[in-house]
A and B are shown apart, each in its own frame.
Chain A
Amino acid sequence: MVRIGAFLVGLFFAGWLFVSFLVGAYSYVTEPPAKTVEHEFHLAPKHVSFSFDGPFGKYDQRQLQRGFQVFKEVCSACHSLKFVAFRDLEALGYNEAEVKAIAKQWAIKTPSVDPATGEPATRDPVPADHFPKPFANNVAAAAANNNAIPPDLSLMTKARHHGTAYVYSLLTGFQEQPAELLKKFPDSKTPEGLHYNPYFANLNLAMAPPLSADGQVTYSDGTNPTVDQMAQDVSAFLTWTAEPKLENRRAAGLATIIFLLIATGLAYMSYKNIWADKKKAA
């Protein structure tokens, strides 16, 4: 009885799936799905190498400091970094006093309450504060940015596939819309106020090229601030903001795996030992 019922149910599901397949195949052949403009022109992130690549790579503190400078002078005007605190910057090699000064001089102030009146006010950030947001809320952010809300950057490099290379590619990927694209997809002209970038998911983004000219920031360590260099540095910085514990994680991992290899080797010998008599008995 169970088998008869099962047979019928199986026949139904398998049969109907086959019918669905035929219907799908028929329409696939008669009306092949049109390629979208994203299919044809979206590009995977560029290849770019960093000191923290590979299983044992580490952050380059000087590069992180340069990247932080780019973030401070360029990105932070519009993008928040809300999961990172000023005190975290000590990991970049700044000492306590420097962190305190960075926080105090930060252009955007931390919201607070006027102790006398209770009215909303602002104060200088302290190291314990997270980076203050440039806009009070999403409405203000959208209003100031042509209706596009600049995303928070704390986790950006983990929130995209190949995030570090993605950020780098996006920053260096702004270009004119290819003539070929317009020929093939005449309706896909980049709308007014948006900017063509083949590394962005739907090819047009609201952000104008943020790194537009070499020398946009002045590095104190003498590195030549080309657009490419600045893009690499800020990508490295944003990798750190997304994964600040990367070095601890890799060091702990190495120790753990070495320990486990030895322990497992011993466990294997012990297992073979204990079974030795059983195999001999055979």
Chain B
Amino acid sequence: MASVEHSDGQSLSGGEGVRRRDFINIAAVSFAGVGAVVVALPLIDQMNPSADVLALASTEVDLSAIQPGQAIKTTFRSQPLFVRQLTPAEIAEADKVDPSTLRDPQTLEERTVDGKKQWLITMGVCTHLGCVPLGAGEGENRGEFGGYFCPCHGSSYDTAARIRKGPAPKNLEVPKFSFTSDTAILVG
């Protein structure tokens, strides 16, 4: 695009005409500028998730095979998702903690759905630097608080997947989800 600075209008013949001429030059350059900005929008937008990626933005999970005390690791938006059925003992342990003493104060109720407190659905992404914590698989180290343990820098999460020790700043994220039936959830 041509850039015509209005100061060049000064070299034009003087008198009444100069202002109008300056105005046209400014208008032309402004239009070019507006055009460039508008063109930039699709150029930027193309890097956003495409329609096929967004179509996979929700995942259905079947809960029927998960026994109390067990967890499964599945994927949601190309990241690990932990789905765990808590045992009554684990629920009691989580409820015992005074939330105000926690780094990221939340109760188990706030992290689960009403009436289905045993279903703990969290992302399997450590809030420190994004490693996948251990504890969802059979026999994995669940850390000193009995939830999840991140081997990268030693963050320990409790049975409600709240951060209790180590560098992670937040509890494991609970994604948006809803029960589509008693034994199935839709995440996302």
Q: Which residues does A use to contact B, with CB under 8 Å?
A: 85, 87, 127-128, 259-260, 262-263, 266-267, 269-270, 273-274, 276-277, 280
Contacts and interface: CB of A to CB of B under 8 A. Distances in A.
Contact of A274 (B8, B38, B55): B8
A270 B25 contact: yes
A263 B55 contact: no
A85 B52 contact: yes
B178 to A, nearest CB: 15
Given A273-B24, A273-B25, A277-B13, A87 B55 contact: yes
A263 B35 contact: yes
Given A87-B55, A267-B2, A276 B13 contact: yes
Nearest to A255: B38
Interface in B31-69: 31-32, 35, 38, 51-52, 55-56
Nearest to B27: A266
Contacts of B38: 259
B181 interface: no
Interface string B1-24: 010100011011100000001001
Given A259-B35, A276-B12, A277-B13, A266 B55 contact: no
B28 interface: yes
B12 A85 contact: no
Contact of B21 (A127, A262, A267, A273): A273
B28 A277 contact: no
A32 B25 CA distance: 65
Interface of B: 2, 4, 8-9, 11-13, 21, 24-25, 27-29, 31-32, 35, 38, 51-52, 55-56
Contact of B12 (A87, A128, A259, A277): A277
Contacts of A274: 4, 8, 12, 25
B52 A128 contact: yes
Contact of B31 (A127, A128, A262): A262
Contact of B55 (A127, A269, A280): A127
Chain A interface, DSSP helix/strand/loop, else mixed: helix
Nearest to B58: A128
A262 B65 CA distance: 65
Nearest to A276: B12
Nearest to B31: A263
A38 B20 CA distance: 66
B78 to A, nearest CB: 13
Contacts of A277: 11-13
A259 B39 CA distance: 12
B55 A128 contact: yes
A260 B34 CA distance: 11
A14 to B, nearest CB: 45
Contacts of A127: 55
A274 B38 CA distance: 27
Given A270-B4, A270-B28, A277-B12, 18 more contacts: A85-B52, A87-B55, A128-B52, A259-B31, A259-B38, A260-B35, A263-B31, A266-B24, A266-B27, A267-B2, A269-B24, A270-B24, A270-B27, A273-B9, A273-B12, A273-B25, A277-B11, A280-B13
Contacts of A260: 35
A110 to B, nearest CB: 14
Nearest to A280: B13
A262 B28 CA distance: 9
B28 A269 contact: yes
Contacts of B27: 266, 270
A87 B13 contact: no
Nearest to A86: B55
Contacts of B12: 273-274, 276-277
19 contacts: A85-B55, A87-B51, A262-B31, A266-B24, A266-B27, A267-B2, A267-B32, A269-B28, A270-B24, A270-B28, A270-B29, A273-B25, A274-B4, A274-B12, A274-B25, A276-B12, A276-B21, A277-B11, A277-B12
